C-alpha cells in the first residue's frame, strides 16, 4: 500500500478540508519534491470562492496551490540537472514541448499545458509532489523557501514588464496594488522607470507601495479613476500603464491614462467584456499587450533575487501551516487582516 501523505482539499466552494493522498510515484524524468512553501494566488482564491468555473469545473476534492518551493527528495533515472537535497523553485506549467508555441519559446501559450492548480490538474498544498525535473530550478542559499515560492508570481510581473518595452526614465502607472501589481511595480522600478505611480482603493496597500519606493500613490476609492488620476497633480498620462486589477471598469478607463505612443499592458484577469473607447487607441497610437503567465523567466527572476535586486519578503504578511490552510484561505478570500501575500508552510 502506498504511503499516505497529508493534503488540503477544496471540497466545494469555501470548504477546505485536510485529508490524505497517496505519496506520488515518479517517472524517469521527474523528481519527488517535498513541498516547503506555497503562496496563495488570486486564482487559488477564485477557485476557493467559486468551487470551480464553467470553463474549468472542479468535480471532486481538489488541491490548490501553484506558487511552490521545496526540496528534491528523490529523482528518476534520467534526471541529470538536480541532486537529491537540492532546494528548488517549481515552475508549475508542464507543456507539450512539440507544438509551434513550445518550439518558438512561447510555451506559456501551449494548448496542452498542465498547470498546477488549474483544474483538472491538482496543485501543491500537499506534502509531496512529483514534477518534471527540468521545471525545477535550484535555489541559492540567499533565497528562502518562502521567497522561492514567490518566483512564480514574480515571473508574471517580470514577463509583463519586459514585454511592455518599458525603458529607463520612462513613466509608468500600475493599476492595482495586490501582490501582482506590487511585483510589477518593483520590476518597473528595477528597470529604472520613473516616475512610477500606484493606484488602488486600499490605503494599506498603497502605504506599502509608497514604502517600497513608489513616487506617488493615488487612492481611487469611490472616485472615477481617470478623474482621480487627473486631479492628483502627478501627471495625466504615462508611457506604460499596467492594468493589474482585473476589474472591467478599470480596464475601460485605462486607455485614457496612456501617453501618445504609449503602452497598455494587461495583466489582471477579467473574464468578461469591458468596453474600450477604441478611438483613444487610434488617436494615441496605443500598443496593447496581453500577458499570459510567463515563459523562460525562472532563471532570470532567481538571479535578481539572489543578487538582492528583487526583494519580495516585504509582500508576505501571513504565514500558516498546512493544518491551518482553511483559515489562510478565509483570510485571503475576505482580504482581512490587511493581508497581501499569504504563505502556507507545508513542510
> How far is 185 from 157, CA to CA, in rounded Å?
8
Nearest to 238 by CA among 256, 252, 251: 256
Q: Quick one: which segment of 17-25, 92-100, 184-192, 204-212 binds Zn ion (CB under 5 A)?
A: 92-100
Applying CB under 5 A, among 63, 79, 102, 139 the residue interacting with Zn ion is 102
Applying CB under 5 A, among 69, 95, 118, 217 the residue interacting with Zn ion is 95
Residue 94 contacts Zn ion per CB under 5 A: no
- Chain mean position to CA 154: 6
Residue 38 contacts Zn ion per CB under 5 A: no
**Cβ proximity of 184 and 161 under 8 Å:** yes
Residue 328 contacts Zn ion per CB under 5 A: no
Applying CB under 5 A, among 5, 45, 46, 96 the residue interacting with Zn ion is 96
Residue 343 contacts Zn ion per CB under 5 A: no
Residue 180 contacts Zn ion per CB under 5 A: no
> How far is 111 from 118, CA to CA, in rounded Å?
13
Applying CB under 5 A, among 8, 33, 41, 346 the residue interacting with Zn ion is 41
Window 188-227: residues binding Zn ion (CB under 5 A): none
For the bound state, the minimum distance from the C-beta of residue 255 to Zn ion, rounded and expressed in Å, comes to 26
- Chain mean position to CA 256: 26
Q: Closer to Zn ion by CB, 93 or 197: give it.
A: 93
Q: Closer to Zn ion by CB, 38 or 139: give it.
A: 38
- Rg of the chain over all Cα atoms, to the nearest angstrom: 20
Strands of the chain, DSSP E: 4-10, 16-22, 30-39, 67-75, 87-90, 93-94, 114-115, 128-132, 136-138, 172-175, 196-200, 216-219, 238-243, 258-266, 287-290, 316-321, 341-345
Q: Please enumerate in sequence order all residues whose Cβ is within 8 A of that of 49, keeping only pairs 6 or more positions apart, or say none.
A: 13, 14, 333
Q: Closer to Zn ion by CB, 257 or 346: give it.
A: 346
Q: Quick one: which segment of 39-47, 127-135, 165-173, 276-284 binds Zn ion (CB under 5 A)?
A: 39-47
> How far is 343 from 330, CA to CA, in rounded Å?
13
Residue 149 contacts Zn ion per CB under 5 A: no
- 190-to-65, 154, 160, 161 alpha-carbon distances in Å: 28, 12, 13, 10
Q: Closer to Zn ion by CB, 99 or 281: give it.
A: 99
Q: Closer to Zn ion by CB, 96 or 228: give it.
A: 96
Number of residues that bind Zn ion (CB under 5 A): 6
Residue 45 contacts Zn ion per CB under 5 A: no
Q: Quick one: which segment of 8-16, 21-29, 105-113, 237-245 binds Zn ion (CB under 5 A)?
A: 105-113
> How far is 193 from 165, CA to CA, in rounded Å?
11
Beta bridge partners of 131: 31
Q: Quick one: which segment of 102-110, 195-203, 235-243, 315-323 binds Zn ion (CB under 5 A)?
A: 102-110
Window 46-85: residues binding Zn ion (CB under 5 A): none
State the Cα torsion 345-148-16-317 to the nearest 10°. 70
Residue 312 contacts Zn ion per CB under 5 A: no
CA angle 53, 59, 61 (to 5 degrees): 110
For the bound state, the minimum distance from the C-beta of residue 7 to Zn ion, rounded and expressed in Å, comes to 19
> How far is 263 from 288, CA to CA, in rounded Å?
6
For the bound state, the minimum distance from the C-beta of residue 6 to Zn ion, rounded and expressed in Å, comes to 22
Residue 110 contacts Zn ion per CB under 5 A: yes
Q: Quick one: which segment of 15-23, 89-97, 242-250, 326-334 binds Zn ion (CB under 5 A)?
A: 89-97
Q: Closer to Zn ion by CB, 82 or 96: give it.
A: 96
Contact positions vs Zn ion (CB under 5 A): 41, 95-96, 99, 102, 110
Amino acid at each position: 500500500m502506498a504511503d499516505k501523505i497529508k493534503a488540503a482539499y477544496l471540497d466545494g466552494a469555501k470548504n477546505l478540508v485536510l485529508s490524505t493522498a497517496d505519496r506520488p510515484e515518479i517517472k524517469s524524468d521527474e523528481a519527488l519534491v517535498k513541498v516547503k512553501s506555497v503562496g496563495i494566488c488570486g486564482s487559488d482564491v477564485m477557485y476557493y470562492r467559486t468551487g470551480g468555473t464553467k470553463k474549468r469545473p472542479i468535480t471532486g476534492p481538489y488541491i490548490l496551490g501553484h506558487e511552490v518551493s521545496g526540496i528534491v527528495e528523490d529523482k528518476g533515472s534520467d534526471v541529470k540537472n538536480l541532486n537529491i537535497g537540492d532546494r528548488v523553485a517549481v515552475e508549475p506549467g508542464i507543456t507539450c514541448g512539440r507544438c509551434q508555441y513550445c518550439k518558438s519559446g512561447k510555451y506559456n501559450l501551449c494548448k496542452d499545458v498542465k498547470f498546477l492548480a488549474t483544474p483538472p490538474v491538482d496543485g501543491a498544498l500537499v506534502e509531496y509532489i512529483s514534477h518534471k525535473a527540468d521545471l525545477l530550478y535550484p535555489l541559492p542559499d540567499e533565497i528562502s523557501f518562502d521567497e522561492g515560492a514567490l518566483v512564480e508570481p514574480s515571473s508574471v510581473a517580470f514577463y509583463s514588464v519586459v514585454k511592455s518595452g518599458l525603458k529607463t526614465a520612462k513613466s509608468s502607472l500600475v493599476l492595482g496594488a495586490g501582490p501582482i501589481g506590487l511585483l510589477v511595480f518593483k520590476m518597473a522600478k528595477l528597470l529604472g522607470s520613473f516616475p512610477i505611480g500606484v493606484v488602488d482603493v486600499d490605503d494599506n496597500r498603497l502605504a506599502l507601495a509608497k514604502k517600497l519606493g513608489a513616487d506617488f500613490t493615488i487612492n481611487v476609492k469611490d472616485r472615477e479613476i481617470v478623474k482621480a488620476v487627473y486631479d492628483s497633480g502627478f501627471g495625466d498620462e504615462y508611457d506604460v500603464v499596467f492594468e493589474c486589477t482585473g476589474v472591467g471598469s478599470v480596464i475601460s478607463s485605462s486607455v485614457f491614462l496612456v501617453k501618445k505612443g504609449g503602452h497598455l499592458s494587461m495583466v489582471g484577469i477579467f473574464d468578461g467584456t469591458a468596453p474600450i473607447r477604441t478611438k483613444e487607441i487610434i488617436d494615441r497610437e496605443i500598443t496593447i499587450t496581453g500577458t499570459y503567465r510567463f515563459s523562460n523567466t525562472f532563471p532570470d527572476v532567481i538571479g535578481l533575487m539572489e543578487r538582492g535586486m528583487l526583494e519580495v519578503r516585504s509582500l508576505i504578511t501571513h504565514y500558516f501551516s498546512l493544518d491551518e490552510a482553511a483559515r489562510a484561505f478565509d483570510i485571503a478570500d475576505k482580504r482581512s487582516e490587511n493581508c497581501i501575500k499569504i504563505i502556507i508552510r507545508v513542510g
